[in-house]
Amino acid sequence: MASEEELTAARLEKAGQLAQHGSAPFPNDFRATDAIEADRAALVALAEDEAARAKLPTEDELPAGAGPSGGERSLYGRVVAKRGPFLVVRTPYGDAQALVRPEQLDTDDARGQLALLDLADHVLVRGHAVRTRTGALALRATHYRHLGKALRPPPAKWHGLKDVEKRYRERYVDLFANPEVAEIFRARSLIVSTLRRFLDARGFLEVETPILQALRGGATARPFATHHNALDLPLYLRVAPELYLKRLVVGGFDRVYELGRNFRNEGVSTRHNPEFSMLELYVAYATYEDLMDLAEALFGAADAALRERHPRLRGGRTFDLDATWRRVTLRDAIAERLERSRRGELPPPPFGATITRRTLDEPATLEAACEGADVDAVTRKQLAACRSHGERLFVLYELLAEPLLTDMYRTPDGASSVPVFILEYPFEVSPLARRSDADPAFTDRFELFIDGREVGNAFSELNDPNDQAERFRAQVANQARGDDEAMDYDADYIRALSHGMPPAAGLGVGVDRLVMTLCSQPSIRDVLLFPLLRPEAE
């Protein structure tokens, strides 16, 4: 078997020979007009329509010598298969087949170019649509033209590039080798455009805020640091646009959103990429409860668009978006997990302490229970790092309840999990959220989980400048203790709040995770065209 270097050398030689047949290896004089683009799309649709194909003539029924006359069509794209005289041409709409016999082509140059064809080359064929003996569509070509040379051979396994690392690194090959991968990214584009249309139709204003920021803020996350040479100014890539969007609410934009990239200097996993897409929106004169209703409608609109255009990607789901979405407080989720474990309905918790719903409201009792628990070293370290009752509750929630949300909240028949809003996070872990009027130890905040993934975070916004200043000072104190995810003190934001921000609520949606969830993809890398990878070894 020839090596890749030998195959490439052979293709280079063919590229040099094309000039003898009236074509450069990389010509640039073909124009896809709207008319022939529509023609190509119609051909692909015809290839998939059995009833319409049955009305086509066979090759034998086509008048002999049929040439450039009424009924001719154009097909162009990348050749992905050769079966005798048949070429399979891949287009953005799907595949269509051309029947190209040298003796039926209109010029010697066309025949010469056809003889130099390799898989993955780009070509144009023109002719009449016919029905093959097997009932498939074929465009019987009277004209053939070379449009672009592929100097590297396609993957040996043409019908599926399987090496996962190679797929992510060479996405340009992955997309044309695996049509199902290209479908995911078409679906992603549809979901994003649907989110925009949904918000635009409800009076939201789309804006752009700075990606380069002088302070760390908007979320607790480790930022990427950079430097502006002309101003000799240290800067950060934003971890979130939140504080700038809320400045706009102060300025009178009552409904505002941004859909863009955020950057967090964190590890890479199936759910995390250091560069990711986020939708953040803010509504004046609203609460986080209003945003639960908005989130259900927003996600429902995206899923409806997916159902219409890409139904295949919705198959195999283990969750049901049409079921009633649950709303559960963080403390109730912990208590329910422990109670159901005691009843044998869920696995036993990772420590032996007896904790009840009442214990969760008693700081001293809960602290004693955690200190006396039979836990592993990692869990003990996490609990020992807690400096408040709220932090301890949050760690317990992440250890006990969050990993089992899909088991705890299901449809009445138990067949599918349902989306769940986890409410009332402790204020210590919610530095930008408004405290609850009913219990100031907690905030008016929710996180939304679907299929076990956190896909949304929202809260009633903190608009008291004195309270916010105190939260910022607490964040700075955390920095001094070594917390590299803590925020800076943003004096200008405090000044903005001092001008009077109306009561408001904000929602952040992880777009990548939403696409993963709706399109049934297991890893964030499967919905990012170019995920972060280590440099390729020489």
Which among 506, 509, 427 is positioned nearest to 459, based on CA atoms? 506
Strands in 249-308 per DSSP E: 255-263, 275-284
- For tokens 């474990």, the residue is 341
What DSSP string runs through 420-488?
A: EEEE--BGGG-TTBPBPSS-TTBBSEEEEEETTEEEEEEEEB---HHHHHHHHHHHHHHHHTT-TTPPP
The SS3 assignment for 120 reads: coil
Q: What is the pLDDT of residue 165?
A: 84
Which among 91, 89, 102 is positioned nearest to 139, based on CA atoms? 89
Mean pLDDT taken over the chain: 93
Q: What is the pLDDT of residue 64?
A: 55
CA 51 to chain centre: 37
- Take residue 125 and report the two structure tokens written for it: 């064929």
Strands in 116-179 per DSSP E: 122-131, 137-148
**Is the per-residue pLDDT at 535 higher than 90?**
no
Which among 520, 507, 437 is positioned nearest to 256, based on CA atoms? 507
Residues 153/120, Cβ–Cβ less than 8 Å: yes
Window from 59-73, 77-91, 177-191, 484-498 with minimum mean pLDDT: 59-73
Angle at 53 between CA 181 and CA 98, to 5 degrees: 60
CA 391 to chain centre: 31
**Is the per-residue pLDDT at 95 higher than 50?**
yes
N- to C-terminal Cα separation, the chain: 24
CATH 2.40.50.140 domain span(s) along the chain:
4-154
- Take residue 514 and report the two structure tokens written for it: 């939403």
Half-sphere exposure of 271 (CA within 13 A, CB side): 9
Integer Cα distance of 155 and 173 in angstroms: 8
Amino acid identity of residue 185, one-letter, is F
**Is the per-residue pLDDT at 99 higher than 60?**
yes
**Is the per-residue pLDDT at 68 higher than 50?**
no
Residues 44/92, Cβ–Cβ less than 8 Å: no
**Is the per-residue pLDDT at 160 higher than 50?**
no
Residues 380/286, Cβ–Cβ less than 8 Å: no
pLDDT band at 69 (very low <50, low <70, confident <90, very high): very low
Residues 284/502, Cβ–Cβ less than 8 Å: yes
Q: What is the pLDDT of residue 538?
A: 62
Which stretch of DSSP H or E encloses residue 213?
Answer: strand 212-213
* pLDDT tens-digit readout, 369-396: 888 787 888 888 888 889 999 999 999 9
Window from 117-121, 150-154, 190-194, 286-290 with minimum mean pLDDT: 150-154
Q: What is the pLDDT of residue 268?
A: 87
- Take residue 322 and report the two structure tokens written for it: 């049409």
DSSP 251: T
Q: What is the 3-state secondary structure (H, E, C) of 16-48?
A: HHHHHHCCCCCCCCCCCCHHHHHHHHHHHHHHC
Integer Cα distance of 457 and 459 in angstroms: 7
Q: What is the pLDDT of residue 158?
A: 46
**Could you say which architecture CATH assigns to the domain 4-154?**
Beta Barrel (2.40)
- For tokens 């990012």, the residue is 528
Which among 382, 404, 406 is positioned nearest to 394, based on CA atoms? 382
Residues 231/181, Cβ–Cβ less than 8 Å: no
Q: What is the pLDDT of residue 371?
A: 83
Q: What is the pLDDT of residue 432?
A: 87
- For tokens 């955690």, the residue is 370
Name residue 445's beta-bridge partners: 459
Amino acid identity of residue 20, one-letter, is Q
CA 394 to chain centre: 27
Q: What is the pLDDT of residue 63?
A: 64
Considering only residues 29 and 67, tell me which one the structure prediction assigns the higher pLDDT.
Answer: 29
* pLDDT tens-digit readout, 206-231: 999 999 999 999 888 999 999 999 99
- Take residue 76 and report the two structure tokens written for it: 């162009």
The pLDDT of 420-430, averaged and rounded, is 96
The pLDDT of 66-70, averaged and rounded, is 49
DSSP 319: B
Q: What is the pLDDT of residue 505?
A: 98
Q: Which residues have C-beta within 8 Å of that of residue 32, sequence separation ≥ 6?
A: 40, 76
Residues found in the chain: 538
Q: Which residues have C-beta within 8 Å of that of residue 136, sequence separation ≥ 6?
A: 47, 53, 97
Integer Cα distance of 376 and 509 in angstroms: 34
Assigned fold of 161-318+506-532? BirA Bifunctional Protein; domain 2 (3.30.930)
* pLDDT tens-digit readout, 271-330: 899 999 999 999 999 999 999 999 999 999 999 999 999 999 998 899 999 999 999 999
Give, to the nearest 10 degrees, the angle between helix 330-342 and helix 389-396.
Answer: 50
- Take residue 191 and report the two structure tokens written for it: 């979901």
Q: What is the pLDDT of residue 479?
A: 92
Residues 441/427, Cβ–Cβ less than 8 Å: yes
- Take residue 214 and report the two structure tokens written for it: 């002088």
Q: What is the pLDDT of residue 537?
A: 75
Which stretch of DSSP H or E encloses residue 97?
Answer: strand 94-99
Which among 291, 89, 112, 108 is positioned nearest to 199, based on CA atoms? 291
CATH 3.30.930.10 domain span(s) along the chain:
161-318+506-532
Give, to the nearest 10 degrees, the angle between helix 179-201 and helix 288-309.
Answer: 140
Share of the chain above pLDDT 70, in %: 96
Integer Cα distance of 291 and 34 in angstroms: 43
Integer Cα distance of 242 and 11 in angstroms: 53
Q: What is the pLDDT of residue 350?
A: 75
Q: What is the pLDDT of residue 59?
A: 86
Integer Cα distance of 102 and 111 in angstroms: 5
Instruction: Note the pTM of the prediction, 2 decimals.
Output: 0.91
